[in-house]
């Protein structure tokens, strides 16, 4: 078995294991206000992490479905969103670790609210002003800020383990994930097919190639590994 075939089988095995893990999480407890559950100081933190898990789960399952139907256009679009949601979980857990070490539970709950309820343009400025709430408390961090935080964390781990810092979560996002997930050259030319005379046919029936499958498998496996690494850290923080 050559290295390509070996890696292909390893990725398929890992993806199947992550699928089982997503599906074996059958429920989460309801979120209660602090007045209803005063001893559960981390309730907002837990609730937001649960919401991120659910989004990640269904993006993962959707990605597998598009791979099965051999629709690379939809698969790459989902992969981009999956990558970004994994980044949110990593950013959230790393921030939570730092805040909890400093005993700043209230700040963690503020961050939990921001990630669960914030956005780019929603809630609107007027909506927040009407409720007397500060706009900055509901503006999400930039996705690249989240991705960079993951790279910094993994490079630190590599260095501590005596390895060369080579985390490429941001690099892969910039150079491939975001490109293939957008209507750029990479996002459009999945539907192109080179003919024997050197011309390029826009093929209405082409939505997949073996190279697409290999690439998506690799990125799905990598992102899922990172996600469950941070999910495990969440579970340890909330024991």
Cα dist from 222 to 79, 111, 155, 182, 226, whole Å: 11, 26, 15, 20, 6
Share of the chain above pLDDT 90, in %: 70
Query: What one-character DSSP code corresponds to residue 190?
Result: G
Single pTM value for the model: 0.93
Contact status, residue 34 vs residue 43, Cβ threshold 8 Å: yes
Nearest to 230 by CA among 160, 179, 157: 157
Residue range 133-142: average pLDDT? 88
Least confident of 52-61, 94-103, 113-122: 113-122
**Would you say residue 91 has pLDDT above 90?**
yes
**Of 61-70, 107-116, 121-130, 149-158, which gets the smallest average pLDDT?**
121-130
Flag whether pLDDT at 223 surpasses 90. yes
Cis status of the peptide bond prior to 123, with omega within 30 of 0: yes
Q: Is the pLDDT of residue 172 over 70?
A: yes
Tokens of 27: 């429920």
Quick one: angle between helices 72-101 and 143-160, nearest 10?
A: 70
At residue 1, the pLDDT reads 60
């Amino acid at each position: 078995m050559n290295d390509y075939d070996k890696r292909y089988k390893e990725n398929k095995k890992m993806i199947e294991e992550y699928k089982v893990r997503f599906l074996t999480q059958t429920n989460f407890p309801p979120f209660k206000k602090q007045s209803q559950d005063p001893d559960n100081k981390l309730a907002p933190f837990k609730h937001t992490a649960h919401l991120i898990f659910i989004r990640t789960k269904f993006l993962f399952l959707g990605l597998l479905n598009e791979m099965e139907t051999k629709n690379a256009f939809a698969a790459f679009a989902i992969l981009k969103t999956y990558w970004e949601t994994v980044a949110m979980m990593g950013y959230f857990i790393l921030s939570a670790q730092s805040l909890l070490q400093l005993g700043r539970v209230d700040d963690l709950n503020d961050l939990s609210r921001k990630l669960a309820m914030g956005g780019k343009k929603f809630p609107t400025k007027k909506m927040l002003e009407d409720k007397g709430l500060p706009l900055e408390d509901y503006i999400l961090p930039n996705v690249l800020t989240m991705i960079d935080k993951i790279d910094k964390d993994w490079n630190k781990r590599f260095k501590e383990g005596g390895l060369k810092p080579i985390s490429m979560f941001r690099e892969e996002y910039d150079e491939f994930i975001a490109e293939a997930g957008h209507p750029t050259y990479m996002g459009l030319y999945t539907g192109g097919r080179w003919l024997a005379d050197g011309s390029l046919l826009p093929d209405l029936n082409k939505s997949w190639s073996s190279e697409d499958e290999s690439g998506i498998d690799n990125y799905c496996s990598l992102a899922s590994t990172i996600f469950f690494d941070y999910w495990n850290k969440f579970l340890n923080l909330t024991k």
